[in-house]
Structure 1
Amino acid sequence: MPPKKVTLPAFKLMEARVEAVEHDLTEMRSTLVDVQNTVKTNHANLIAMLEKCLG
């Protein structure tokens, strides 16, 4: 079976989709980094409060 030929409009559409997915991944990565930093901060605050309360 011969390979399918990709037309220029189809290629441009696929490029646009790939670019949109890459943009979404960048946003998700940024959000995950923010969440990770918040968790670290909250964990440190929790440990400090426990040490203060429990002596």
Structure 2
Amino acid sequence: MSKCKFILVQNFFTRQWRWKLVAGNGRTLDASSEGFFNKKNCIENAKKTGEALVELTRNL
């Protein structure tokens, strides 16, 4: 089973942060639907998404 990872990217023009969840094969599985001006807020949102995904897979 390949591992997934969150990647943070910052838009050059808007300076907003976004996250992407990327599978081991390089495919994007999910991405933030909004930009964050504060990197800390982006990280917190990614953590909440990750926790929700873990909970979802436990209930399958």
Higher strand share: 2
Q: Tell me the TM-score normalised to structure 1 length.
A: 0.43
Q: Which has the higher contact order (CA 8 A, sep 6+)?
A: 2
Structure showing greater Rg: 1
Higher helix share: 1
